[in-house]
Amino acid sequence: MKGLFSDDPFVLLEDGRYSRHQIVSAAFHLSRALPEAPVVMNLYTQRHEFLVLLLAVAFKDGIIVLPPNTAENTLNGLMDAIDSRHKFIAGARTERWNFEDETVARIDVKHLLSSGLVDKAQLSPLLRKLPVAQIWLYTSGSTGQAKKVVKTWSQMMRLAAKAISRFGFDRTESPRCVVATVPSQHMFGLETTIFWPLFSRLKVWAGRPMFAEDIKAALDFVKPPVWLVSAPLHLKKLTQFDTEWPSYNESEDGLKVLSATAPLDVALAKTVGTKMHARVFEVFGSTETASIASRETLVSDEWRLYDHNCLEEDKNSGTYDVIMQDLDERHRLQDTIRTVSADRFRVLGRQSDLIKVAGKRASMTDLNRILQAVPGIEDGVFWRSEASERLQAFVVSNLSSQEIRQALSKSMDVVFLPRPLHFVKRIPRNEMGKIPFQALLELESQTREKVG
């Protein structure tokens, strides 16, 4: 943990920068105002604010709660389920939600960061508390109810060490910077924007730019080498704009794009690589496991496990467990995979992904990929109701039903063509681009009521 006393630039903002020592010191000042063992929902979007609260709660033997989405009903439901006298919600824009005043913590993080550095003697006892501090995350709920996943700081630090080693973030050459469009509240964002940078030589951009011009401005500001962390749906939208992305000299270690949360289509990866002048990488994992493997998308379709990870097949079910030997952890994978060697594998699809219509099988992931690749479709998703074997689809598009089905018929069997086809204003995706199962049920109900 010696690196946490570093005074080198760590979090970059347009109007300044903060070191790790400043972040930890601000957390110390905040912790003195917190009650013992608080349970705090962290809704901060700025990386330095998120991290100050994350550390401060750990210093007071508390628990950080990271919600699966920011819907008001979700947040209130999680708060109601927390059994603690000292439970709070903290974030820069908590007025967006209808919370009771006594559950909202008003924190001036900027003031805390200017309150002065705290010496190592005062900080060291608090840093020793970090390994056992808990973080509660939640799965997206894309296949049902969101599930709570409990991780300790110790687990997150050791998981981060694997990725840091894989991508060389611990090397002594010029530190890289992470610019991310994903929120820190989900595992992919928590890894890439908080734990990877905090325990490596990485720097991190404080904001979460979403629009192409804002992302370009951030990339221009931080200079190479830089990693852009995003998700497939967002990358697709970025490539649709006429943005003049930074082009680096051959001597520079330029832009690398890192994607997760869903398979990145090779055609999209090529477009991203060409338009953004970038090398494209992916990580494979889940909320339960964090990332466990990586690949460079346009170089190989094989995933390579991180060091000290291995796969073990259950001969009865054909499923695989990932075993993290150095963490003494084992997790069942929800994907159908095929091993290539001891440390390499291919993903064939989700186990719950295969469907059968009129005696023919298909992958819902593949069908959605085909649907979303149709020119003129902004977004779309296939859906099968329990009341019918036939598939339907929700789309955001100005195309006609006939034009969409005609385009789809070129790439899929006629039995999978969606009937009916529902036109909607937006697909209810969460901040990571995933669609909660319950949201699809509600969308189906709404479209049924309109038809009725």
Greater confidence, 396 or 71?
Answer: 396
Which of 284, 301, 318 marks a domain boundary? Answer: 301
Number of residues written out for the chain: 452
Burial class (CB in 10 A: 0-12, 13-18, 19+), 186: buried
Please tell me the pTM assigned to this model.
Answer: 0.85
Same domain, 216 and 79: yes
Which tokens in the block code for residue 264?
Answer: 């990145």
Which of 279, 301, 323 marks a domain boundary? Answer: 301
Please give the Cα distance from 180 to 182 (Å, whole number): 5
Which tokens in the block code for residue 275?
Answer: 């338009």
Question: Looking at residue 74, which CATH number applies to its domain?
Answer: 3.40.50.12780
Average pLDDT, the chain: 90
When pLDDT is averaged across residues 1-21 and rounded to a whole number, the result is: 93
340 part of a folded domain: no
386: pLDDT strictly greater than 60: yes
Contact between 137 and 186 under an 8 Å Cβ cutoff? The reply is yes
37: pLDDT strictly greater than 60: yes
- Which segments of 57-108 are extended strands (E)? 63-65, 87-90
Same domain, 77 and 9: yes
What residues are paired with 243 via a beta bridge? none
Omega prior to 38 cis, within 30 of 0: no
Same domain, 56 and 168: yes
Q: Phi then psi for 357, rounded to 5 degrees?
A: -130, 125
Same domain, 242 and 168: yes
Closest C-alpha among 342, 186, 216 to residue 277: 216
pLDDT tens digits, 66-110: 998 888 888 889 999 998 889 999 998 777 777 777 788 889 999
Please give the Cα distance from 171 to 112 (Å, whole number): 31
Pairing of strands 392-397, 421-423: parallel
pLDDT of residue 142: 58
pLDDT tens digits, 254-299: 899 999 988 898 999 999 999 999 999 999 999 999 999 999 999 9
214: pLDDT strictly greater than 60: yes
Please give the Cα distance from 170 to 151 (Å, whole number): 23
Same domain, 243 and 105: yes
Kindly indicate the confidence band of residue 173, based on its pLDDT and cuts at 50, 70 and 90.
Answer: confident
Same domain, 370 and 291: no
Same domain, 96 and 221: yes
pLDDT of residue 56: 97
325 part of a folded domain: no
pLDDT over 90 percentage in the chain: 64
pLDDT tens digits, 153-164: 999 999 999 999
pLDDT tens digits, 249-259: 655 678 999 99
338 part of a folded domain: no
Tell me which of 163-167, 240-244, 363-367 is least confident. 363-367
Greater confidence, 421 or 95?
Answer: 421
187-191, 364-368, 448-452: range with highest mean pLDDT: 187-191
216: pLDDT strictly greater than 70: yes
219: pLDDT strictly greater than 80: yes
161 part of a folded domain: yes
452: pLDDT strictly greater than 60: no
Same domain, 86 and 181: yes
pLDDT of residue 451: 42
Give how many domains the chain has, as a whole number: 2
145: pLDDT strictly greater than 90: no
Using left for φ > 0, alpha for ψ between -120 and 50, and beta otherwise, residue 6 falls in: beta
Same domain, 118 and 27: yes
395: pLDDT strictly greater than 90: yes
151 part of a folded domain: yes
Question: Looking at residue 418, which CATH number applies to its domain?
Answer: 3.30.300.30
384 part of a folded domain: yes
Domain that holds residue 384: 354-451
Same domain, 387 and 268: no
Same domain, 86 and 180: yes
Which of 272, 301, 330 marks a domain boundary? Answer: 301
345 part of a folded domain: no
Please give the Cα distance from 335 to 72 (Å, whole number): 31
Please give the Cα distance from 321 to 359 (Å, whole number): 30
Kindly indicate the confidence band of residue 32, based on its pLDDT and cuts at 50, 70 and 90.
Answer: very high
pLDDT of residue 440: 81
Instruction: Give exposure, 355-378, as e/b (b: 16+ Cβ within 10 Å).
Output: beeeeeebebbbbbbbbbbbeebe
Please give the Cα distance from 347 to 327 (Å, whole number): 24
The amino acid occupying position 56 is A
Contact between 396 and 380 under an 8 Å Cβ cutoff? The reply is yes
230: pLDDT strictly greater than 50: yes
268 part of a folded domain: yes
Same domain, 264 and 405: no
